[in-house]
Structure 1
Amino acid sequence: MDDADAVPVAELLDERRHLLEVTYWMLGDSREAENVVGESYRRWYGLSDAERGRITAPRYWLTKTAGGICLGLLARPRRGVTGRRDRTSERSTEPPDVGAQAVLAEEVSRVLLNALDSLSPAERAAFVLNDVFGMASDTVADIVGRPEPECAELADRARRSLRMQRSRSTPPDEQDLLARTVRQACVDEDAELLESLLCPDATAFFDGGGKVRALSRPVHGSRQVAHSLLTLLARHPRTTLTTHSVNGRTGLVVRYDRQVAAVISLDIAEHHVAQVWVVLNPDKLRSWNQPPTIPDSGSHGGPSRQGDGSL
């Protein structure tokens, strides 16, 4: 190895852990993830010195290579037309890399992984790379091999599918009451109440779009989700939290001064919040920050019903 190729051990281990995390989320099987990472490194060392020298970002090259291998595995017939496969006998529950898996176990819900199995390979890849790892849209498009707008649509379809799986038909009154109770628990900074409103395996997703310093990975577990929400919504005299219609159901809107800073959707299952979707991406909040249109003189429309409260 040339001195120019020397890499600090911490960077090497961080790179390998990153690859294991990406491949595990994409495949849901730790042994397959380990094999894919090994194959990615084999392909790296299969390059000539000159070819490796032209790669300015090895970690990106390895991630793209691993992602492509995962997409190939997900598309295999044994997984079925949607990318799902029978894992009753094949799924590895005792991974070779116990240390890395211990970290993953804290972040990955088995319920969520099973739900990801219902997505198409492209949907799963777009969702995992965008929502789980917060990769830039051009990076996601490069790994998935689709144009950026198509990848954005794939991720949106994946989100809708996951919401439908976790959310049962909830009466509007129940949705409204639970959303208002969640808002009050956040306003009061009541961690115990907020945690009690969440499913034990609740998951929170934070979409910063690379434009704000949001959490780049999902938060799993009622206690962790409650903590992350209370941290995000920490009391401040210029911040308000209100209930508002979000995607046709009661959700939460966070304003800093009069600017919408975040929109929160709540998916309910069995009378508790199963998934929390926090949009912080300024690009996706533009429509929320448009000046209100002045209604015609004959219009009697009113504003959406919303709670009122400062944090």
Structure 2
Amino acid sequence: MTIDRPDQSLSAIMSERRQLINLAYRLVGSLAEAEDAVQETYARWYALSPQQQQAIDSPGAWLTKVASRICLNVLNSARARRENYVGDWIPEPLPAPAEGTTTDPADRITLDESIGMAFLVVLEAMTPAERVAFILHDVFGYPFAEVADIVGRTPVACRQLASSARRRIRTSQTPPPPTAEQAAIVRNFKQAWEAKDINALVGLLDPDVTATGDGGGLATTVRRPFEGAGQLARGLVELADRHAGLTILERTVNGQPGLVAEQDGVIVTVYAFDIAAGRITHIWAVRNPEKLRPWTLR
């Protein structure tokens, strides 16, 4: 009688890459850090002896566990790093596959509500353990027994972490409108901005709208968030006056309608939007060139 062993061929092991990239991006909010975490995961797999690899019943589960633990370490260290970050830190914006530069399907992120910018921003407010427990269980469907092994807590504690994360999301987010409605609002916003029509802009913005910029000390941006429709509308018109050569284009940003600004054919800013009740409630403007790598590499 022969005993079936898990497929540990190179193709089988590498077929897990897309799942790992999808998981890691949601865990850390940065495609670059997600790719680094997955690369480190594979390095640890190939550092095992053939005998150690053969002893692993489920290579996919092993890779997921290792990648998740690496991401947990990244999140724990990120808190200290981001205290020294210049200005506001915004998760790395993600282009749609057709709009980005990635040609390998294994590197593409599946676009759904769990990668929306508003969703990722809420995740940033969670503790690392909360974030990992919630993403693994609620988004990827791992049982709490497996989550506990990754996080280093009991299953009961992980259940409580995920529950706390759900409460944060419920209190911080409203269900997004249909994509077609979002696209129409973003398109009207673009047209009003290009026309420098302050009244039209104010009409599209929630009275308490906020706008946050992320330049990371490598690109100029507002020093503190804009607050209020009038202040933001005037700021947008002033920006248009200062940068007459900018071209604003509609693009999909983190799976939702967004905009990009091009200067001399190069994307210099990516704009993501949060929309509720027919108005724009938040705008995130990412200008840090390191975070625009997926948009600008050719």
TM-score by length of structure 1 reads 0.48
Instruction: Summarize deviations over 1:62-102 as a string: whole Å, max 9, x none.
Output: 1111111101110111145xxxx9535x8475787553565
Q: Which residue of 2 aligns with 1:53?
A: 54
| Cα distance, 1:97–1:121 mapped onto 2, change above 3 Å | farther
Q: Which residue of 2 aligns with 1:105?
A: 111
By how many angstroms is 1:20 displaced? 0.7
2:165 to 152, 158, 161: 158
Asked whether the equivalents of residues 31 and 92 of structure 1 are also in contact (C-alpha less than 8 Å), the reply is no
SS state at 2:9 partner? coil
AA aligned to 1:70 is C
| Cα distance, 1:161–1:51 mapped onto 2, change above 3 Å | same
Cα RMSD after superposing both structures: 3.9
Q: Which residue of 1 aligns with 2:89?
A: 87
Asked whether the equivalents of residues 34 and 96 of structure 1 are also in contact (C-alpha less than 8 Å), the reply is no
Instruction: Summarize deviations over 1:192-215 as a string: whole Å, max 9, x none.
Output: xx9599977xxxxxxxxxxxxxxx
Matched, 1:65 2:66: yes
Q: Which residue of 2 aligns with 1:141?
A: 148
Q: Which residue of 1 aligns with 2:188?
A: none
Instruction: Summarize deviations over 1:15-56 as a string: whole Å, max 9, x none.
Output: 111111110110111111111101001011112222222211
Instruction: Summarize deviations over 1:225-281 as a string: whole Å, max 9, x none.
Output: xxxxxxxxxxxxxxxxxxxxxxxxxxxxxxxxxxxxxxxxxxxx8448xxxxxxxxx
| Cα distance, 1:163–1:100 mapped onto 2, change above 3 Å | farther
Asked whether the equivalents of residues 82 and 89 of structure 2 are also in contact (C-alpha less than 8 Å), the reply is no
Quote the Cα distance in structure 1 between the aligned partners of 2:174 and 2:112: 23
SS state at 1:105 partner? coil
Point out where structure 1 has 5 or more consecutive residues left out of the alignment: 169-193, 201-219, 223-268, 273-311
AA aligned to 2:143 is A
TM-score by length of structure 2 reads 0.50
Q: Which residue of 2 aligns with 1:120?
A: 127
By how many angstroms is 1:137 displaced? 1.4
By how many angstroms is 1:116 displaced? 0.9
Point out where structure 2 has 5 or more consecutive residues left out of the alignment: 184-254, 258-274, 279-298
Q: Which residue of 2 aligns with 1:7?
A: 9
SS state at 2:24 partner? helix
The structure whose RCO (Cα within 8 Å, separation 6+) is larger is: 2
Matched, 1:44 2:45: yes
| Cα distance, 1:104–1:5 mapped onto 2, change above 3 Å | closer
Quote the Cα distance in structure 2 between the aligned partners of 1:4 and 1:38: 22
AA aligned to 1:151 is C
Matched, 1:17 2:24: no
Quote the Cα distance in structure 2 between the aligned partners of 1:100 and 1:6: 18
Quote the Cα distance in structure 1 between the aligned partners of 2:92 and 2:109: 18
| Cα distance, 1:196–1:93 mapped onto 2, change above 3 Å | closer
| Cα distance, 1:96–1:48 mapped onto 2, change above 3 Å | farther
Quote the Cα distance in structure 1 between the aligned partners of 2:110 and 2:150: 22
Q: How many correspondences in the alignment?
A: 178
Overall identity of the aligned pairs, in %: 35
SS state at 2:141 partner? coil
SS state at 2:57 partner? coil
| Cα distance, 1:156–1:24 mapped onto 2, change above 3 Å | same
Quote the Cα distance in structure 1 between the aligned partners of 2:66 and 2:6: 23
